[in-house]
Amino acid sequence: MIRRCETESYPEAANNAPHHLQYHSPLILNERSAPMRIGFIGLGMMGKPMAVNLLRAGHDVAVVNRSQGKVRELADMGARPCASPADAARGADVIALCLVGDVVVESVLRGEGGALEGAQPGAVALDHSTVHPEFARRMEAACAERGVVYLDAPVSGTGQVAWDGELTVMLGGGAHAMERARPALDAVSANARLMGPVGSGNMAKLVNNMVKDINQLGVMETLVLGAKWGLDLGLLVSVMRSGAAASRQLNRIAPKILSRTFEQTSYVSTNIKDQGLMGWMIGQAGMELPLRNAARDSWQRAADQGLAQADPTEAVKALEREAGVEVKGEMRSDYGRTASNPEETLDDLTAALYLAGVFEAFTLAAKLGMDAQAMFEVMRTASGASAQLERAAEVIFGGEPQASAPASVYASLYEPVLENARREGLRLPLHEASADVWRKAGGGDDAEVFARALGLREDAAGIRLRGA
């Protein structure tokens, strides 16, 4: 069996793109691949489904975790329980880590009983943790002292995406080491791409996460605004899912928020941690990114209201408290764009926000010397994916932007919406930052407006991204 990745609910954008921008899924899980001996350390929300998929693919998996309940679950499925990271690494071809934070990763790799004590020369350490890029380079050097090859390999995707083995993996390191780890990568991912030397995987993950955070919080602001207007939120989401605001984040978070379920798949505190790493990257580039800053402040505001250990979707409660509304409703399957003007207006403004965020992300990536085309190819299957990512790619890589609301109307659409929101004391920092971009971009045809909107970021960064 061979699995392929498909776009979610915005296939038109990907299918109508020029050939060089269309997503051609790699052939990924060939069940005839030779089984590997894999030591897997860390069975959290992401690690557990990854380890399960490695077992399902026929690999010999040894597992270690702080809490033993998950170890027993995996042992019942055929994994070998181990007492320490060193035991799990002993004899392994690949040592996979899926942990939280630099301190924990270093302890598990280099501490007493750590993986490097048991690792054999020639083994590949596949670090799926999201860590500081400079820390990843230090771990590369520490592994090299023991003859182990280190790859930073953070992943994007959560929940069902992880269980289905459809993650996106962004790798930093050597191409030969990546190919040696390919059978393990194929078992857990739909798209695994080498982004550059060690550290590049985490840089790509952070750029993607920047867009993911902007999209996710932008959707929350839109839903709160829709609730404030008294709209049928199920209809609003239906319009957005079939319209310009289609995105992976909308698909993932809207059902949870409308149903008030808030199943735990991550933590607000994790997003704040990642925002700190983004801050280092942005500082290296010497840039100011207004939408990213608004997202950072929104996560912190949610944490300040007692939501640090909540699922990120619960951050909507901080916005709800300020607005005096609750976002809830029934999801609808009638995706037809039959709504009245307010739903279509919010769809267009959310799309405008996505676009402004993508422009920030790609100018940051270019300023840091990253490969823009490779960044696009990983992001379109990762948590930052959206119809507007595909549209922005037309501007960045050449060509005419795809059909959607004329970009020249974004500023005029924003003006009455935000003026009314301010009058009611409703705080919408991401939409405010987006409106400022489109106000400065001015009028004209789409190509001109897009070029000016992107140019604002290019000029601030002192680079030219278009035609990359």
Catalytic residue among 205, 228, 256, 317: 205
Chain centroid to CA 424: how far? 33
Model confidence at 466, pLDDT cuts 50, 70, 90, reads low
Give a yes or no: residue 24 inside a domain.
no
Give a yes or no: residue 401 inside a domain.
yes
Residue 310 maps to which CATH number? 1.10.1040.10
Nearest to 89, CA basis, from 37, 132, 142: 37
4 Rama class: left (phi>0) / alpha (psi -120 to 50) / beta: beta
pLDDT at 448: 84
189 Rama class: left (phi>0) / alpha (psi -120 to 50) / beta: beta
- Judge whether 256 counts as a catalytic residue: no
Give ∠ CA 116-119-122 in degrees, rounded to 5: 115
Q: How many domains is the chain built from?
A: 2
Q: Same domain for 443 and 377?
A: yes
Give residue 104's domain range.
Answer: 33-198
- Mean pLDDT confidence for 177-194: 96
Q: What is the DSSP string of 199-251?
A: THHHHHHHHHHHHHHHHHHHHHHHHHHHHHTT--HHHHHHHHHTSTT-BHHHH
Q: Same domain for 327 and 421?
A: yes
Q: What is the DSSP string of 417-448?
A: HHHHHHHTT---HHHHHHHHHHHHH-SS-HHH
In the predicted structure, residue 12 carries a pLDDT above the cut 50: no
Question: Which residue did the predictor score with more confidence, 15 or 395?
Answer: 395
Q: Give tens-digit pLDDT for 57-89.
A: 999 999 999 999 999 999 999 999 999 999 999
- Burial, 269: exposed, middle or buried (Cβ in 10 Å; 0-12, 13-18, 19+)? middle
- Mean pLDDT confidence for 300-320: 97
Q: How far is CA 399 from CA 10, 214, 222, 373, 451, in A?
A: 20, 25, 30, 15, 11
Residue keyed to tokens 């800053």: 293
Q: What is the DSSP string of 112-127?
A: TT-HHHHPPTT-EEEE
In the predicted structure, residue 47 carries a pLDDT above the cut 50: yes
pLDDT at 397: 84
pLDDT at 445: 78
Contact 211, 178 (CB under 8 A): no
* Last-in-domain residue among 198, 225, 246: 198
Give a yes or no: residue 204 inside a domain.
no
In the predicted structure, residue 338 carries a pLDDT above the cut 60: no
Q: Same domain for 46 and 149?
A: yes
Q: Give tens-digit pLDDT for 412-460.
A: 999 999 999 999 889 999 999 999 999 999 887 777 888 899 888 989 8
For residue 453, the cross-strand partners are: none
